[in-house]
Amino acid sequence: MKKPANEMREHILDVARALMTHKGYTAVGLNEVLSTANVPKGSFYHYFKSKEEFGQALLDVYFDEYLSRIEPILKLQANGAQSLLKYFQYWSETQHDDAVDNKCLVVKLGAEVCDLSEVMRQVLETGTTRIITLISDSIERGVSDGSIVTQDSRALAESLYQLWLGASLMAKVNRSTQPFASAFAITKSLLG
């Protein structure tokens, strides 16, 4: 039985995410995505107008799913500092192995697609801004409950996010979890 168009679109995006998490955006051709998804070659443009629209949809879905996973962690009833430490612990646990389900597409695709597509760069900018805002809100909560001391919650949130993106990249380069341990220690000291 044929899947409805929206289910087939989601299926294509799921298959593509797994492939691109391993290989990157430009290394995965549409033929590979469609073949792996068992979708006829000519039907891709029934679901997406272009590879760029497809990439935009891939990133939109990624950010929506990621934010739905981290929002409960960052809004726990614990104090602001504890919520942030739980979030960064989650980050280190989900980014150090070979499982693709929770891998950060910002780390994997960010530098690659920002030079290829303004539309995809904008999706990355919007998505990362949403993440930083959640981190900043937790910092503000920590300032209010006395668990964090800072003069600029937004700047601290941006710095922490950038620190962890860098740690994720270095963990890939070094094939080691040490960058996460270092980032966690620095995070604890920055939160006070």
DSSP-assigned letters across all residues of the chain = -PPPHHHHHHHHHHHHHHHHHHH-STTS-HHHHHHHHT--GGGHHHH-SSHHHHHHHHHHHHHHHHHHHHHHHHT-SS-HHHHHHHHHHHHHHHHSSS--TT--HHHHHHHHHHTT-HHHHHHHHHHHHHHHHHHHHHHHHHHHHTS---S-HHHHHHHHHHHHHHHHHHHHHHTSSHHHHHHHHHHHHHH-
Pick the CATH number of 51-191 from 1.10.357.10, 1.10.4190.10, 3.40.50.920, 1.25.40.90: 1.10.357.10
Sequence ranges of the domains in the chain: 51-191
Mean pLDDT, the chain, rounded, equals: 90
Low-confidence ranges of the chain (pLDDT < 50): 1
Residues 72-106: pLDDT tens digits? 999 887 899 999 999 999 999 888 765 556 677 78
